Chain A
Amino acid sequence: MSGLDELYQSIILDHNRRPRNYGEPAVCTHRASGRNPLCGDEVTVWMNVEDEVITEVKFVGQGCAISKASSSLMTEAMLGKSRTDALAMFDRVHELLTGTLDPMAERKTLGQIAALGGVSRFPIRVKCASLGWHAFRNALLHPEPVPCTT
């Protein structure tokens, strides 16, 4: 696969076109926004955490295909995880995006997330791919005041 084909795998393009868990939930326990002032990308992540388990993750964002698809993949990966497992997943994705985790070798444990492995060859796009994940982590560890409790 060429670098571009690896970056824009069909999973990425599909999640860009049809982002999963997209939209603001009616109720949530945690929320955080992330923004990349240099390129203008932004994302907000909402979730519901019950008994230390993530029972819902949703996002809304504006940005490139990589940032949108990565956020979408994030919501699917984090749903149902415990806080501890979710934070461990965050660390693994960070390694994947920065090229210290081999997506081929870890394909089984990573699942669809492995599709983000192509990003590591494009250092300037790492921040696009990590935006949603950072917002997720911030929502979990340093949640912003939650407005959506109607």
Chain B
Amino acid sequence: MTFLAPRSDFPLLADTPTLHYLDSAATAQKPRVVLDALQQFYERDNANPHRGAYELSARATERYHDARATIATFIGATDADCTLFVRGTTEAMNLIAYGWGDAHIGAGDAIVVTAMDHHASFVTFQQLAKRTGAEFRIAELTDDGRIDMTSLRSMLDSRVKLISFPHVSNALGTINPVTEIVALAHAVGAVVVCDGAQAVPHLAVDVEALGVDFYAFSGHKVGGPMGIGVLWGRRALLESMSPWQFGGDMIEIVGDQVTTFNTLPHRFEAGTPNAADAVGLAVACDYLTALGMDRVRAHEVELTALLLDGLQLLDGIRIFGPMHAQERSGVVSFAFEDVHAHDLATILDEHGVCVRAGHHCAQPLMRRLGVPATARASVWVHTTPDDLHALMTALQHAKSLFADVALR
């Protein structure tokens, strides 16, 4: 299983044979079928959905509609109308904060996030707390990078109206116990928001089985285009919410003074929809379905184990998150005592190895880890042991470059 998707499936990788792309957690490379679908949409089906009373527009509407159905199925949602298109996870979080939070959260209430929340949810709900006067609580982590369930339990009481956590941590790779957290949260009546950005590309996700109330992910990390993402929500919640953006498409009847709004999903999709990218994302989901999400997971577990084994051989390295591949995704953050992450990234880049270096949009987490930045390597369907070997060679070079100074 160490080889899954051929490099030739990805035009960018096929064109740059010496590139070792280990930054899929930031954004995934795009399969050729996705790029072809975008081209095809604009060449054959392009018209404004929901508007024209002509065949071409009807076709564009149908493609958009079908894309939603495909993506809903991919994440286990039986009610496709509850699968809303947004720009990405960040916009999904803002939709929840403005569409649900402002109406349901007030002074005296509490919001719980975790120390491993991405800024997309952390900052959005921190600001929601600020606007509404709610208390903002942060569940702490264990030393091996998991949500500290004791800390989390201690924060859940009847004042908590909303809890947010990532399905998979973008900086630690930890796969969180979603159903366990959902049970605790629902026991106190809190609405559960789960950030699936780092899960959907790597694990078979079934939003209904997970039991969450909202689930969000970004299309570009799944191999789809940038600028499209999904917020899935429970119908009763979505129907109880006011729209947060207004304009065309989301209305029913516009009076001079009063407007009534469209049904789901349209009431949350103001303006011309991003139909082409929705179609592209659906094709990306189909691509992964064809590979088989179980095989994707098996492939990544195997590579993650190789990656962890390789990194552990390096002197002075600190690896963050759980140390067993089965308990984490293929995102591995690490730091050296003597080589800063940005210097690593530059040296690795000269070896054709792309990794992320920085705070990973998780500054609260970096503070808790006690590091200003980490380097992060991440694997996906096209990653091979050869890519990991290139990483190890480049890391050795970085180590020796910085070690030499003591001898000079």
Contact B340 A65 (CB under 8 A): yes
Of all chain A residues, the one with the shortest Cβ separation from B402 is A13
Supposing A10-B408, A13-B404 touch, asked if A39 and B346 sit within 8 A by C-beta, the answer is no
A26 adjacent to chain B (CB < 8 Å): no
B405 within 8 A of A: yes
Chain A proximity mask over B349-374: 1 for CB below 8 Å, otherwise 0: 01000000111000100100000110
Contacts A40-B359, A40-B372 known; A125 to B346 CB distance under 8 Å? yes
Please provide the chain A residues from 1 to 19 with a CB less than 8 Å away from any CB of chain B in the complex: 2-4, 7-8, 10, 13-14, 16-17
Given contacts A64-B340, A64-B342, contact A8 B358 (CB under 8 A): no
- Whether B358 pairs with A10 at a CB distance below 8 angstroms is no
Q: Is A104 an interface residue (CB 8 A)?
A: no
Which chain A residue shows the least CB distance to B403?
A13
Least CB distance, A97 to chain B, in whole angstroms: 15
Q: How far apart sit A10 and B372, CA to CA, in the bound complex (Å)?
A: 24
Closest 4 CB pairs of A and B: A13-B405, A64-B342, A64-B340, A65-B343
Instruction: Kindly supply a per-residue 1/0 record for chain A positions 31-57, scoring 1 wherever the CB is within 8 Å of any chain B CB and 0 otherwise.
Output: 000000011110000000000000000
Known: A38-B358, A39-B342, A40-B363. A10 touches B373 (CB 8 A): no
Residues of B bordering A, CB below 8 Å: 339-343, 346-347, 350, 357-359, 363, 366, 372-373, 401-402, 404-406, 408
Measured between beta carbons, the chain B residues less than 8 angstroms from A66 are 342-343
A-B contact count (CB 8 A): 57
Residues of A near B402 (CB, < 8 A) are: 8, 13, 65
Q: Is the CB of A62 within 8 A of B343?
A: no
Q: How far is the CA of A71 from the CA of B43 in the complex (A)?
A: 54
- CB-nearest residue of chain B to A124: B346
B405 engages A14 (CB within 8 Å)? yes
Interchain CA distance A13-B405 in the complex, whole Å: 6
- What residue of chain A has the Cβ atom nearest to residue B350's Cβ? A4
| A13, A16, A62, A64: residue with the most chain B Cβ atoms closer than 10 Å | A64
- Judge whether B350 and A128 touch: CB under 8 Å: no
Chain A residue numbers with a CB within 8 Å of B401 are 4, 8, 13
User: Could you name 19 residue pairs across A and B whose Cβ atoms are closer than 8 Å?
Assistant: A2-B350, A3-B350, A4-B347, A8-B343, A10-B404, A13-B408, A14-B408, A16-B405, A39-B342, A39-B357, A41-B372, A63-B340, A64-B341, A64-B342, A65-B343, A66-B343, A122-B346, A125-B346, A128-B342
CB-CB nearest in chain B for A68? B340
On whether the beta carbons of B372 and A62 are closer than 8 Å, the reply is: yes
Instruction: Name the residue on B nearest A15 (C-beta).
Output: B405
Contacts of A40 in B (CB 8 A): 358-359, 363, 366, 372-373
- B372:A63 contact, CB within 8 angstroms: yes
Given A4-B347, A39-B358, 17 new contacts (CB under 8 A): A4-B346, A4-B350, A7-B346, A10-B405, A10-B408, A13-B401, A13-B402, A13-B404, A13-B405, A38-B358, A39-B357, A63-B342, A63-B372, A64-B341, A66-B342, A122-B346, A124-B346
